[in-house]
Structure 1
Amino acid sequence: MKINRSGSAVWTGGLKDGKGAISTQSGALDAYPYGFATRFEGMPGSNPEELIAAAHASCFTMALSLILGEAGLTAEKMETSAVVTLEKLEDGFAVTASKLTLKATIPGADDATFQDLAAKAKANCPISKLLKAEISLEAELLG
């Protein structure tokens, strides 16, 4: 099975004064603005790193849902956030880390089993596999 998904970007102008727009195949983002200020200066708008963070959080959570199901467990609720780190290195900028933070309510799961299954999901998530960055996970079982 092979699935292709697409996204696109349009850019006009120079690096600091230019403007860009990001779109996704689904239409979830449709010419959504991004630029130097949104990426490096904290101005409103999107940037590639937050999109990677959202992709990593959502992919990991779905992977964990699959792994929980294989173990006979179903989450009542899982909330995952990801923080992607963009760092200036000697040879330019690179994404150097992605930190996943998970809070989950999973009836019937003990903490040891939960930690083991979460680690498996982190290792097997397709976005985790894509990233060449250090990937850390902090997981908390609620309730």
Structure 2
Amino acid sequence: MALRKANAEWNGGLKSGKGNVALGSGAFEGAYSFQSRFEEGNGTNPEELVAAAHAGCFSMALSAALEGAGYSPKSVKTEAQVSLVKEGEGFAINKIKLITQAKIADISKEDFQKQAQGAKENCPISKVLTGTNIELEAKLL
């Protein structure tokens, strides 16, 4: 199976330092800092990258589940919101909320919700994040 890679480099101390992350495919490279992670500075952060991975994985998993159930999805658009909170002396991701909107012909709301819930439970990124509360808000357009 496929092996995916990314790398990161951090230079300096926690608050005064800065870093860079890059995807192995070359599709993205960006700076990150204490400010971009814990405040409102410019750049990316690990939680934003987790959100992008989860949104992408879930959208594909839902499309696959719908197709497998005999539907023809036109589009699945997902936003993932990753909550980073102070926990003891450190930080933790305590919740991820998936907000998805989909265009699918001839599906009942009930079956759509069933397919969306199954995709949430079975996408590989959801599986790796099993220690985190994952909420789902799924809407048909």
* Range into which the TM-score falls when normalised by the shorter chain: over 0.9
Determine which of 118, 121, 140 is the counterpart of 1:120.
118
Name the counterpart of 1:49. 47
User: TM-score scaled to structure 2, two decimals?
Assistant: 0.96
In the TM superposition, what is the alpha-carbon distance from 1:96 to its structure 2 partner?
0.9
Residue correspondence of structure 1 range 52-91 to structure 2 within 5 A: 52-90=50-88
Name the counterpart of 1:25. 24
CA distance in 2, matches of 1:133, 1:79: 22
8 A Cα contact 2:72 2:105, kept in partner = yes
The ranges of structure 1 where at least 4 consecutive aligned residues each deviate by more than 3 angstroms after the TM superposition are none
Unaligned regions of 5+ residues in structure 1, if any?
A: none
Name the counterpart of 1:101. 99
CA distance in 1, matches of 2:97, 2:72: 24
Deviations 1:6-45 (A, max 9, x none): 0000111100110100000111123x10010111111110
CA distance in 2, matches of 1:129, 1:23: 24
Unaligned regions of 5+ residues in structure 2, if any?
A: none
User: TM-score scaled to structure 1, two decimals?
Assistant: 0.95
Deviations 1:62-85 (A, max 9, x none): 111110111011211111000001
Name the counterpart of 2:15. 16
In the TM superposition, what is the alpha-carbon distance from 1:92 to its structure 2 partner?
2.0
Name the counterpart of 1:3. 2
**Partner AA of 2:139 in structure 1:** E
Name the counterpart of 1:133. 132
**Partner AA of 2:74 in structure 1:** E
8 A Cα contact 2:62 2:76, kept in partner = no
Deviations 1:96-119 (A, max 9, x none): 111000111101111000000000
